[in-house]
Amino acid sequence: MNLPQAAVGEVTSWNAEEGSGSVSSESIPSPAWLHVSMLRGIRFEDIAIGRRFSFEYEELEQDGYAYRATVLWEFGGDRPSDPDDDSGAHISYGSTLRINFDA
């Protein structure tokens, strides 16, 4: 199992139409893929190339990137809770799907 690791970095690319881009850090050898669903306590409109954020990443290939950001939050702030805990910390776009099968 590949556990996420924390880092500080800056957004190096961002496609607002697709809601994805990349974030770079001295902690990893190449940029990590970033998706709008990974934002915690950050609005979609706040993402800008060159802006610094704290993030967690894992070594997992995604859309041609060797790394993938799993959570991204304000630089210098505490890591917000995940949206599944109902804390309200996740203010960006998100969705879930649950399928229950009767046994």
Q: Which residues pair with 57 in a beta bridge?
A: 5, 69
Give the pLDDT confidence of 3-35 residue by residue, as tens digits: 788 999 999 999 999 999 999 999 999 999 999
Phi/psi at 33 (nearest 5 deg)? -65, 140
Q: Report all structural domains of the chain as residue ranges with CATH numbers, in order of start.
A: 5-85 (2.40.50.140)
Residue 11: CA count within 13 A, CB half-sphere: 23
Structure tokens at 84: 């599944």
Taking the model in full, what pTM does it have? 0.74
